[in-house]
Amino acid sequence: MDAFLIKGPSRLSGTLRASGAKNAALPAMAAALLTDAPVTLEEVPDLADVDTMTRLLEGMGVLVATPAPSRRIVDASRVTSTEAPYDLVRTMRASILVLGPLVARFGEARVSLPGGCAIGVRPVDLHLRALEALGARIAVEKGYIHAHVSRVGRGTGRLTGTTIRFPSPTVTGTENVLFAATLARGTTVIENAAREPEVEDVALLLTRMGARVTGAGTPTITVEGVERLSGTGPSPHTIVPDRIEAGTYLAAGAITGGDVTVSRARARDLGAFLDALRRAGAGVETTEDGVRVFASRPLEGVDIETAPHPGFPTDLQAQFLALMTQAKGTSRLVETIFENRFLHAVELARLGADVRVEGRTALVRGPSKLEGAPVTASDLRASAALVLAGLVARGETLVRRIYHLDRGYAAMDQRLRSLGASVERIDG
Ligand code: UD1
């Protein structure tokens, strides 16, 4: 199994270009199921999760072409199956994103129920209740979600627009309803919708395809259903830059006392995170084409609490915790989104970090002198935190099970090397 061997400490400096966002590329690929015309996407990141989504779509008879490394043409003109099998769904929870499009276009879907994962239970009850409200009949049998829309007359069953109010914002839940509503009869209003930039990006793509969507990026999204959607036409839809990848490399700049610029990163998507970096004493600058983070004064501990966008993203909590091990004083990190998202704390402690976890709160005391050791990655973002710590730890840190990292970071070893880190991918 692949591992990263990191020799530290190092000081990172240089410029990287942000990849397209994983969490926008996956729903964009699923959106192509809504139409029989080709959907062309640009800035699709080279990630294991994108390969998994490709396999999932291909299993349904969808053609996915790669005419250039970051370009995909997704052609769902000949869908032969409306099933998402357990073997693929269990490796990638985002597979649930095919549910809304399949029900909307074909009036039926059979999607394996995603299980829990390392960071928590992660139910999809809100997705299912919303689709029911739109008129789908949902049954869960033998681990599969069966969704069906009754026909009226000939043809496939069609969903009916309604008002859906989420009790709390859900990102993929909002996207699934958005997909379903584009082809529904009448108007759908999504209240308390997720406001993440990736939701906005997906809405932009749907609009390109002929959907009538307003309010994406705000808590209320309105969708006027149309009879059919088209493809993207001659020019592709460009996936929004990955704010989590950008934030991770900016944190790498800060933790190593270096100077890192991520071009194409959008400061407005990273507001709460950049604000926390500033409060911690890092230099933060918005450049013409991105964001720069550099050492300015010794880091100081700051408190953060994760929250739905525009709050501090849960997907950057682990990386920020790693950073706080190098800050003076005590930092209090509260995780409000997922119930078990401090698995990295125990591993960071093996490198010498002083972290105490009590329920949904982590208390970090720093600065700690970290020493290299073997550590094991538990999930995608936790793995990134271990790599960040490895960059400042003295000696060799072996981060095991980096298949988690490959799900969400393209060529992380190469990219860190380009900034001056000593990172090797080995079999370990
Ligand atoms: C998405 C992101 C993930 C990020 C998360 C939170 C993708 C592919 N993944 O995941 O990287 O960590 O947003 O920003 O975009 N919940 C329910 N019932 C549901 C749905 C969600 O109880 O039906 C709960 C979850 O358990 C969690 C919270 O709502 O506590 C937020 O989850 P949600 O926003 O849905 O996360 P994902 O869309 O799975």
CA nearest ligand 1 atom 34, residue: 170
Question: Which residues span the domain enclosing 127?
Answer: 22-238
Clarify whether residues 130 and 58 are in a common domain.
Answer: yes
CA of 174 to the centre of ligand 1 (A): 10
Nearest atom (ligand 1) to Cα of 125: 23
CA of 172 to the centre of ligand 1 (A): 6
- Give the model's pLDDT for residue 11: 98
- Give the model's pLDDT for residue 37: 98
CA nearest ligand 1 atom 35, residue: 170
Give the binding-site residues of ligand 1, using a 6 Å CB cut-off. 23, 26, 93-94, 120, 122-127, 168, 170-173, 194, 198, 314-315, 337-338
358, β-bridge pairs: 361
CA of 275 to the centre of ligand 1 (A): 23
Q: Which of 93, 122, 127, 404 to mutate to test the pocket of ligand 1 (most atoms within 8 A of CB)?
A: 122
Clarify whether residues 192 and 321 are in a common domain.
Answer: no
Single out the residue in 187, 214, 238 at which a domain terminates. 238
Q: Within 10 Å of residue 376's Cβ, how many Cβ atoms?
A: 18
353, β-bridge pairs: none
- Order across the sheet with 83-84: list the strands: 83-84, 108-112, 144-148, 137-141
Residue type, 368: S
- Give the model's pLDDT for residue 235: 92
Backbone phi, psi, residue 42, to 5°:
-115, 155
- Give the model's pLDDT for residue 197: 98
Clarify whether residues 128 and 55 are in a common domain.
Answer: yes
Clarify whether residues 134 and 59 are in a common domain.
Answer: yes
Task: Read off the CATH number of the domain in which 374 is found.
Answer: 3.65.10.10
Single out the residue in 205, 238, 271 at which a domain terminates. 238
Q: How far is CA 193 from the centre of its chain?
A: 17
Q: How far apart are CA 390 and CA 423, in angstroms?
A: 9
Nearest atom (ligand 1) to Cα of 127: 23
Q: How far is CA 418 from the centre of its chain?
A: 24
Q: Within 10 Å of residue 209's Cβ, how many Cβ atoms?
A: 22
Q: How far apart are CA 402 and CA 347, in angstroms?
A: 14
CA of 23 to the centre of ligand 1 (A): 11
214, β-bridge pairs: 222
Clarify whether residues 136 and 263 are in a common domain.
Answer: no
Q: How far is CA 247 from the centre of its chain?
A: 12
Q: How far apart are CA 181 and CA 146, in angstroms?
A: 18
Single out the residue in 221, 238, 255 at which a domain terminates. 238
Judged on CB neighbours under 10 Å (0-12, 13-18, 19+), 53 is buried
- Give the model's pLDDT for residue 119: 75
Nearest atom (ligand 1) to Cα of 94: 8
- Give the model's pLDDT for residue 100: 98
DSSP 337: S
Clarify whether residues 131 and 269 are in a common domain.
Answer: no
Q: How far apart are CA 1 and CA 400, in angstroms?
A: 8
CA of 54 to the centre of ligand 1 (A): 22
Is residue 35 classed as helix, strand or coil in its secondary structure?
Answer: coil
Nearest atom (ligand 1) to Cα of 27: 8
Listed in sequence order, the residues at least 6 apart from 275 whose beta carbon sits closer than 8 Å to its beta carbon are none
- Give the model's pLDDT for residue 118: 78
Clarify whether residues 300 and 226 are in a common domain.
Answer: no
- Overall domain count for the chain: 2
Nearest atom (ligand 1) to Cα of 26: 8
CA dihedral 249, 415, 1, 10 (to 10 degrees): -70
Clarify whether residues 125 and 266 are in a common domain.
Answer: no
DSSP assignment string, 173-200: HHHHHHHHHHTSBSEEEEES----HHHH
Q: How far apart are CA 189 and CA 380, in angstroms?
A: 33
Clarify whether residues 221 and 258 are in a common domain.
Answer: no
Say how many CA atoms lie within 13 Å of 108 toward its Cβ.
11
The answer to whether residue 100 is catalytic is no
CA of 170 to the centre of ligand 1 (A): 5
Beta-strand runs (E) in 39-174: 39-42, 63-68, 71-75, 83-84, 108-112, 137-141, 144-148, 163-165
- Tens-of-pLDDT digits for all 428 residues of the chain? 899 999 999 999 999 999 999 999 999 999 999 999 999 999 999 999 999 999 999 999 999 999 999 999 999 999 999 999 999 999 999 999 999 999 999 999 999 999 767 777 789 999 999 999 999 999 999 999 999 999 877 777 899 999 999 999 999 999 999 999 999 999 999 999 999 999 999 999 999 999 999 999 999 999 999 999 999 988 999 999 999 999 999 999 999 999 999 999 999 999 999 999 999 999 999 998 999 999 999 999 999 999 999 999 999 999 999 999 999 999 999 999 999 899 999 999 999 999 999 999 999 999 999 999 999 988 999 999 999 999 999 999 999 999 999 999 999 999 999 999 999 999 98
Backbone phi, psi, residue 138, to 5°:
-120, 130
Clarify whether residues 203 and 312 are in a common domain.
Answer: no
| 133: alpha, beta or left? (left if phi > 0; alpha if psi -120 to 50) | alpha
Q: How far apart are CA 283 and CA 31, in angstroms?
A: 39
Clarify whether residues 47 and 196 are in a common domain.
Answer: yes
The model carries a pTM of 0.97
Q: Which of 121, 239, 337 to mutate to test the pocket of ligand 1 (most atoms within 8 A of CB)?
A: 337
Listed in sequence order, the residues at least 6 apart from 198 whose beta carbon sits closer than 8 Å to its beta carbon are 21, 23, 24, 27, 171, 240
> Which candidate in 63, 73, 88, 117 is catalytic?
117
Clarify whether residues 333 and 184 are in a common domain.
Answer: no
- Order across the sheet with 422-427: list the strands: 374-376, 395-400, 2-8, 422-427
